[in-house]
Amino acid sequence: MAPGKKGILERLNAGEVVIGDGGFVFALEKRGYVKAGPWTPEAAAEYPEAVRQLHREFLRAGANVMQTFTFYASDDKLENRGNKLSFTGAQINEAACDLARQVANEGDALVAGGVCQTPSYLSCKSEADVKAIFKKQLDVFVKKNVDFLIAEYFEHVEEAVWAVEVLKETGKPVAACLCIGPEGDMHGVSPGECAVRLVKAGAQIVGVNCHFDPMTCVKAVKLMKEGVEKAGLKAHYMVQPLAYHTPDCNCQGFIDLPEFPFGLEPRILTRWDMHKYAREAYNVGIRFIGGCCGFEPYHIRAVAEELAAERGIMPAGSEKHGMWGAGLEMHTKPWVRARARRDYWENLKPASGRPLCPSLATPDSWGVTKGHADLMQQKEATSKDQLKQLFDRSKSH
């Protein structure tokens, strides 16, 4: 950490608001640097300029955590289902750490090294096997001296606890996020109980990320907070949700939606929705507020603008953005100038422009999770016969 910078716990202990960054995997897929399906982060080594630029855009938008682009960078995921890469997990993780640090040093930002759920856990490998995967990633984070660690995107609290137990061995601050909603993890463990287990395992910051929209995620973290307090424990809280509306999702979240992943655009939250999200998160006591899949820099800027008074600073990117549409005062058309006011945007109900489309979808709801034969992973590419079975099965749902 650069001299003079406060650490993550120092900031949170002082009551400061920490703004996370956004969803690198989805953002870089749209830009042509990540392949949908494996969702692996080899772009950190393959196209470093693209990753660096996205970090800079989030920094300019107000983020003061640069999360290493190491999502799904465990060796078992990099080699899963025929995925063949010219970079090792270590090379990707090292490149991601260097990029995050370079941009963090351009502002008052910290670097967080991240690990996430593994195919090995879904395939019922042992605790020792799964922990060894986390340890291999952790060695790089220690070598590169990241400022703190995040275990994120875990559908099962059991695996998240294993990750926390490995990460805490470094002595660095540890945050842990599950990709769950108010119903709890995929084995039915409630958000409150999940949080208690994570705190007891050694996480100082707990929360949720991905899978659900902002308000759903805030509700889940509120339940976590209530569980931790009821247990007589203490923690800080974080939330990094989707930028998609998901009122029709079940406990599996947005990956069960028929639009996932290539038809989600009609569900994207506006920047004004993000103002409401930031305020709600702050009001329930969450102080680490960021985003996950679907979040672009302008979403994070909206979060930072909403909480500018609490943070005592406006993001650099607000130089090119009038608060609540104020920049429209300079528009050539008078009816557009008439929209340069907060009440217009705060009360707008955006149309989709799709008159034949439903407002809600029916999730797939296959109902499988860790331990089910359908989730056993393999190094070999998915065969045509395996695909045919899936296609036939999908028709019956």
Nearest Cα to Cα of residue 3 among 105, 146, 87: 105
Round to whole Å and give the CA distance between 282 and 190: 22
Between the CA atoms of 41, 45, 51 and 53, what dihedral angle is there, to the nearest 10 degrees? -170
Asked if residues 340 and 87 have their Cβ atoms less than 8 Å apart, the reply is no
DSSP state of 17: -
Round to whole Å and give the CA distance between 191 and 206: 10
In the chain, what's the furthest Cα-to-Cα distance? 66
Q: Is 177 annotated as a binding residue?
A: no
Q: Is 292 annotated as a binding residue?
A: yes
Round to whole Å and give the CA distance between 32 and 46: 12
The token pair at 395 is: 């028709």
Cis omega (within 30 of 0) on the bond before 261?
A: yes
Nearest Cα to Cα of residue 80 among 45, 123, 43: 123
**Strand order through the sheet with 18-19:** 18-19, 288-289, 236-240, 205-209, 174-178, 148-154, 110-116, 65-67
Provide the residue count of the chain. Answer: 397
Neighbour-count burial of 313, counting CB atoms closer than 10 A to its CB (0-12 exposed, 13-18 middle, 19+ buried): middle
Nearest Cα to Cα of residue 156 among 120, 121, 205, 192: 121
Query: What is the residue whose two structure tokens read 């079975």?
Result: 389
Residue 282 CB partners (closer than 8 Å, separation 6+): 17, 289, 307, 310
As annotated, the binding site for Zn(2+) includes 210, 292-293
Annotated binding site: 210, 292-293
